[in-house]
Amino acid sequence: MRLPKDLVSGSVILVLCAALFHITTTFDSDPLGAAQGMPATHMPRLVLTVIALLTVIMIVQGLRSDDRKVVENPPWKMWGTAGLLSLTAISLPIVGVPLSFFAVCIALPLLWGARDLKVIGIFAVAVPVAIYVLFQLLLGLRLPLGPLAMLS
């Protein structure tokens, strides 16, 4: 059977997003006005909605292209990426968001074959800084900062 290469993975992501979104409906909500910045119930829903929308775009692009192939096992790099992101999720409370994202932004490009270390370094610094500015400073969310907590 010939399917677009992103249909299966996109469908799995959409099902996972739907299940996680449903779980967020069980969270206790903050009384109106009591939350500083974005309430804790809204942030996961916002992130899941963005992931789902990007996934739909990915699936539509795959359906529109002529690149069809037999669905096969994913490459070892995909499993390496899943393992790295799982390890990052587990270590977030200890290491903190900025250092975790810094490590991921170095490891993922290297895992997938990028070799321009200058660009990887700029990327690895820019992403955690942008996340900190957007979520910690602008939206007022309290991110786990790990060892960098003393700097804020």
d(CA 111, CA 19): 29
Q: Are strands 2-4 and 68-70 parallel, antiparallel or unpaired?
A: antiparallel
pLDDT score recorded for residue 143: 81
Q: Where are the domains of the chain?
A: 1-72, 74-146
pLDDT score recorded for residue 19: 93
Residue 104 makes CB contacts below 8 A (sequence gap 6+) with 84, 85, 88
pTM more than 0.85: no
pLDDT digits (tens, 9 = 90+) for 4-16: 677 888 898 999 9
Instruction: Give, for 133, the enclosing helix (H) or strand (E).
Output: none
pLDDT score recorded for residue 63: 81
pLDDT score recorded for residue 152: 65
Reported in sequence order, the residue ranges of the chain that DSSP labels E, i.e. its strands, are 2-4, 68-70
pLDDT score recorded for residue 16: 93
pLDDT score recorded for residue 64: 80
pLDDT score recorded for residue 123: 94
Q: Which stretches of the chain drop beneath a pLDDT of 70?
A: 1-4, 30-40, 66-74, 151-152
pLDDT score recorded for residue 33: 55
Per-residue tokens: 11: 């469908």
